[in-house]
Amino acid sequence: MIKNMDDKGLCFDIAGIKECQKNRYPLLYIDKVQNVIPGKFARGIKCFSYNEWFFPPHFEDEPSVPGFIQVEALVQTFLMTFLTISEFKGEKAMGLSWDNVKFKRTIIPGECLIIESHLLTFKRGIAKGYSVSFVDGEPACSAEFMVVIPSVLSKFNPK
């Protein structure tokens, strides 16, 4: 479901997120996206439960969220900055690069990751921007992304 929160932007639950992007269980790593300003900003939320498939093997005696899961949650929130634009909604997007990835703290079961994503440029189907995340206001992870919508980019290929 998509709700317009007036001056706070759009808000998406799981069904609304799935309308905008192609990620599905077990690889959909955001629970809710709020304060979306299409073409500019999105705030994602991921609450980690010990029931997640990756906790028992990572690590049984001291469970923590693997780095690739954190980065994937960041990029999925970043996708919502441009896949919420009506003409791109539901398009397949593919990562081109992850840069300057930084992990600031360990994330454990029971914690919620708050992700803020900013779209810097979006031209010819190529989106550039970054995401930063927090747990209880403390920096957790950050990264810069370049993502492409292949169907849009292909329109600019020489004939």
Choosing from 18, 22, 40, 58, which is the catalytic residue? 58
- Measured CA to CA in angstroms, residue 93 lies from 10, 47, 119 at distances of 21, 24, 14
- Three-state DSSP state, 133: strand
**How many Å apart are CA 55 and CA 52, to the nearest integer?**
6
- Between strands 2-4 and 10-12, the pairing is antiparallel
- Answer yes or no: 58 catalytic: yes
Q: Of 22, 2, 10, which Cα lies nearest the Cα of 88? A: 22
Distance, in Å, from the CA atom of 58 to the CA atom of 117, rounded to the nearest integer, reads: 27
Active site residues: 58
